Amino acid sequence: MRLALAEAAPAAATGDVPVGCVVLAPDRSTVLGRGRNEREAVGDPTAHAEVVAIREAARALGGWRLDGCTLVVTLEPCTMCAGAIVQSRVSRLVYGAVDEKAGAVGSLWDVVRDTRLNHRPEVVAGVLADAGSALLTSFFAAHRG
């Protein structure tokens, strides 16, 4: 999670919400993909931290299936990102802060645990949640203030 937090911090410099993500190989020590929110930086509505990291990990592996991989993200994924996690076959999702306004891993929806889908990753929630929340609180206080 500390690697994901390090990815998140620079996002604010481009006006992006500070969310960071890493995708770890099955050995859980090799980073295959890194991402931070880049919607403002690149003008792409799909440039969420998770999607950026999943794309980089898929390139590193030479294919779209991320079987055995762990995705670590500082904020509970939204519906788009939860769908990308399911579609990429990530085996384990670790997230920090809960997103009560857009969370799709238990807060508003629970996309990744939906039994109607063909893949459901293991979920670990709340890892270093206070650190991720602090980044978000600082960002929104500065932008609303």
Output the known binding site for Zn(2+): 48, 78, 81
The verdict on whether 50 is a catalytic residue reads yes
Classify strands 70-75 and 92-97 as parallel, antiparallel or unpaired.
parallel
HEC secondary structure over 7-24: HHHHHHHHCCCCCEEEEE
- Of the candidates 7, 38, 40, 50, the residue annotated as catalytic is 50
- List, in order, residues 6 or more apart from 135 with CB less than 8 Å away: 5, 8, 9, 12, 18, 74
> Known catalytic residues?
50
